[in-house]
Amino acid sequence: MSRSFPIWVDVQACIYSGSKSYGVKETGYSKYKVGSSASNSHLMCTTNIRKIINVDNIEFRFTVDGMCIKKMYFEKLNKGTKNRPRISAGKHLKTITKLNKIKTL
């Protein structure tokens, strides 16, 4: 059975023969550690993606180490019934990104 999630994550790594994926309803959080092993690793960065329901739209916000680097806005659709309301993202409205302003390290 397939489920519908507002956030979808595709993961590719050398340990998988193909890609793996999973859905997220509201918030996805990842930690990336580097070093030589599980017992000798150090946090390099964290990422977070959140779905925020505003009064007139739905916003998806992506952060790296707590700094927001990209936002996407969608029209807010009210689906479902009175007893069981469901809000979902409709048409893409706009994207705001800081990626084009970031210089190389």
Please give the tally of structural domains in the chain: 1
Q: pTM for the complete prediction?
A: 0.83
Q: Which domain does 75 fall in, by range?
A: 27-101
- Tell whether 44 is covered by a domain: yes
Within a domain: residue 42? yes
Query: Is the residue at 19 inside a domain?
Result: no
In this predicted structure, the answer to whether residue 47 has a pLDDT above a threshold of 80 is yes
What is the C-alpha separation between 5 and 27, in angstroms, rounded? 11
Percentage with pLDDT > 70 across the chain: 97
Q: How many residues make up the chain in this entry?
A: 105
Q: Which amino acid is at 85?
A: P
Q: What is the mean pLDDT of the chain?
A: 89
| CA atoms of 62 and 59, how far apart (whole Å) | 10
The two counts, helices (H) then strands (E), for the chain are 0, 7
Q: Is residue 83 part of a domain?
A: yes
DSSP state, residue 66: T
In contact, 6 and 89? CB cutoff 8 Å: yes
Q: List pLDDT tens digits, range 4-41.
A: 788 888 888 888 888 888 899 999 999 999 998 888 89
Residue 21: both structure tokens together:
């994926």
- Whether 6 is covered by a domain: the verdict is no
Q: Is 21 inside a domain boundary?
A: no
